[in-house]
């Protein structure tokens, strides 16, 4: 009886997590989303991205889709690529007046010696 040769699989075998992530990323508009949003659309938490990108074949597929996976840091890929931009207040005194827990009010201090309180941990007028 002759042995039948199996055809070699051309497409890699993806895990369920990888398949769901790729299904989300097949849509062009989803490729600009953050990693947390991509994982959420796939029905997973952030851990899914870390687990899926441990496979170099998955990473190469992401590169083919035009996704930037990031540089490995300590053996893992960076999860967060976006940063929140923060600007300084135009009028700091106005912002402090809105603050419920203003330490100057609680300690009965003026604005000038607050740096001493924060630096030394107590009020020392000298």
Taking only the tens of pLDDT, the chain with its 126 residues reads: 566 676 666 667 899 999 999 999 999 998 888 888 999 999 998 899 989 999 999 999 999 988 877 644 444 445 555 666 777 888 888 887 777 776 766 777 665 555 554 555 555 555
pLDDT at res. 43: 94
pLDDT value, residue 77: 46
* 8 A C-beta contact, residue 58 and residue 89: no
- Does residue 66 contact residue 27 with C-beta atoms inside 8 Å? no
Is residue 8, in this structure, part of any structural domain at all?
Answer: no
Does residue 98 share a domain with residue 66? no
Q: Give all strands (DSSP E) within 1-126, no chain letters.
A: 72-73, 76-77
Domain presence at residue 11? no
Q: For residue 7, is it within any domain? A: no
Q: Tokens for 115?
A: 């740096």
Closest CA to 21 of 8, 40, 3: 40
Number of compact structural domains in the chain: 2
The span from the CA of 24 to the CA of 40, in Å, is 10
């Amino acid at each position: 009886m002759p042995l039948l040769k199996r055809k070699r699989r051309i497409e890699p075998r993806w895990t369920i997590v990888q398949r769901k992530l790729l299904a989300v990323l097949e849509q062009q508009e989803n490729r600009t989303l953050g990693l947390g949003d991509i994982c959420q659309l796939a029905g997973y938490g952030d851990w899914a991205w870390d687990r899926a990108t441990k496979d170099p074949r998955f990473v190469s597929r992401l590169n083919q889709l035009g996704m930037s996976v990031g540089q490995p840091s300590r053996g893992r890929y960076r999860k967060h690529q976006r940063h929140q931009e923060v600007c300084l207040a135009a009028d700091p005194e106005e912002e402090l007046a809105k603050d419920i827990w203003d330490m100057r009010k609680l300690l009965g201090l003026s604005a000038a010696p607050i740096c001493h309180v924060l630096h030394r941990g107590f009020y020392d007028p000298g």
